[in-house]
Amino acid sequence: MSTSSSSPSIPYEVFRKLPKTDLHVHLDGSLRLETIAALAQHHRIELPAEDPAGLREAIGCGNQFGSLVEYLRGFAITLKVMQNEESLERVAFELAEDAHRENVRYMEVRYSPMLHTDSGLKLTAVVEAVLEGLRRADRDYGIVSNVILCGIRNISTESSYQMAELAVAYKNRGVVGFDLAGAEAQYPAKDHRDAFRLVRANNINCTIHAGEAYGPESIHQAIHVCGAHRIGHGCRLRENGDLLHYVNDQRIPLECCPSSNVQTGAAPGLANHPLKLYFDLGLRVTINTDNRLITDTSVSKELYLAHTAMGMSFRDIKRIVLSGFKSGFLPFHEKQALLRQISKELRAFDHAPPSDINASAPSSHSPRSEAWEEDKNTDNKPQSQPPH
């Protein structure tokens, strides 16, 4: 399944051209630095820095952190500029636009509306603003995006239930799932079981961050107490073989976020990340960004690193890409139609050597951010590694 050491690496540009998903991406961790600076200036919000370079340093984009808790501190900056409808719509639109630029075709954006009410916004106004930004991107670029609403482990069970009620209210209106995020250690998922009972009673899909900053017991609770249909991260699943086999047998998808896991210490390094082990054992794994800004990444970069740092072959990568589309919280008929289209596009990559894929693959065309200009300008140049 793996690429041999003697096989040439596939250029980064090829991974950027692949059709792909991002099923685990946090809205408040995926802003453009330029947008944070602009919104702060416009709304006169005081931040640790005023320019993109200073904000990058303050947030720690791509830095190694000592723990998940340290990693999450960057959200204190991004959330400050996400407290009104205009800003939320803009941030959602730009996230979808950036995803479109690397040929992400389906995305599930997650966030917790309660974190965006500091200025008095109603929860429904928060949800509507984000949905409108995603709809606008769909109209402009054709990228399909849905929303997963999050309860927060370390805030309160009552607030998680409130977020679950909101997910029920927006079922079939753009919200396709419910999640439990936040600090994992000392805040067990079972405490939030009532919120998950509510969403499951209303036939809503759910995913839970588990096995990222705590052991396999957290994954067990997520599945058997809360009824999770997918697992976010799942790095420590490998510590319990019996549970791992259950997850495999039940085809429960894992939302793997390799670079983020290295940042938080959930994985010791990309070469030792459990993604490849899980894939080789037959588990349904997907590759995602987690937080495009804080982790300084893209789906293309994560796929490229799976190839170059983990030794996964291009065939392996295409199978993982397809797993992403299979694992989305989409209605069956929509998913089937999308899978037929994506399978056809992936087959086109089988008939062209890597040097020819550049010209045959679909191109992106939505320059909006300076951060993406470098990516855009490499369309017809050989490139051995992702831009930083």
Choice between 371 and 274, residue whose per-residue pLDDT is larger: 274
Phi, psi of 24 (to 5 degrees): -135, 85
- Distance from C-alpha of 311 to C-alpha of 296, rounded to nearest angstrom: 22
Query: At a CB cut-off of 8 Å and minimum separation 6, what does 333 contact?
Result: none
User: Does residue 219 surpass a pLDDT of 60?
Assistant: yes
**Taking the chain, what is the end-to-end CA distance rounded to the nearest angstrom?**
29
- The per-residue pLDDT for range 312-328, each reduced to its tens digit, is 999 999 999 999 999 99
- The per-residue pLDDT for range 55-83, each reduced to its tens digit, is 999 999 999 998 888 999 999 999 999 99
Contact, 106 vs 142, CB < 8 A?
Answer: no
The helix/strand/coil state of 280 is helix
Where do the domains of the chain lie, and which CATH numbers do they carry?
15-32+60-350 (3.20.20.140)
| CA distance readout (Å), 106 to 39, 57, 147, 355, 382 | 27, 31, 11, 26, 27
Phi, psi of 179 (to 5 degrees): -135, 160
Q: What element of type H or E holds 283?
A: none
> What mean pLDDT, rounded, does the chain reach?
90
Sign of the C-alpha dihedral, residues 289, 326, 180, 174? positive
163-168 long-range contacts, CB within 8 A, separation 24+: 163/112, 163/113, 163/114, 163/195, 164/195, 164/196, 164/198, 164/199, 165/198, 166/113, 166/123, 166/124, 166/127, 167/199, 167/204, 168/198, 168/199, 168/202, 168/204
User: Does residue 381 surpass a pLDDT of 50?
Assistant: no
Phi, psi of 234 (to 5 degrees): 70, 25
CA nearest to 145, candidates 99, 203, 200: 99
pLDDT of res. 69: 87
Query: At a CB cut-off of 8 Å and minimum separation 6, what does 217 contact?
Result: none
The helix/strand/coil state of 230 is strand
- The per-residue pLDDT for range 243-266, each reduced to its tens digit, is 999 999 999 999 999 999 999 999
Mean pLDDT of 359-379: 33
pLDDT of res. 352: 57
Query: At a CB cut-off of 8 Å and minimum separation 6, what does 264 contact?
Result: 65, 67, 68, 70, 71, 212, 213
Instruction: Report the Cα 252 to chain-centroid distance in Å.
Output: 17
pLDDT of res. 8: 64
Choice between 351 and 370, residue whose per-residue pLDDT is larger: 351
pLDDT of res. 7: 60
- The per-residue pLDDT for range 98-108, each reduced to its tens digit, is 999 999 999 99
pLDDT of res. 68: 87
Contact, 270 vs 303, CB < 8 A?
Answer: no
User: Does residue 1 surpass a pLDDT of 80?
Assistant: no
Mean pLDDT of 263-285: 97
Query: At a CB cut-off of 8 Å and minimum separation 6, what does 344 contact?
Result: none
Reported confidence tier of residue 334, pLDDT bands at 50, 70, 90: very high
> Please, what is the Cα angle at 281 between 347 and 14, to 5 degrees?
30
User: Does residue 22 surpass a pLDDT of 70?
Assistant: yes
User: Does residue 165 surpass a pLDDT of 90?
Assistant: yes
Instruction: Report the Cα 160 to chain-centroid distance in Å.
Output: 20
The helix/strand/coil state of 232 is strand
pLDDT of res. 124: 99
- Distance from C-alpha of 21 to C-alpha of 28, rounded to nearest angstrom: 18
CA nearest to 290, candidates 243, 331, 234, 334: 234
pLDDT of res. 170: 99
The catalytic site residues sit at 212
Name the CA dihedral angle for 365, 111, 58, 119, rounded to a multiple of 10 degrees: 110
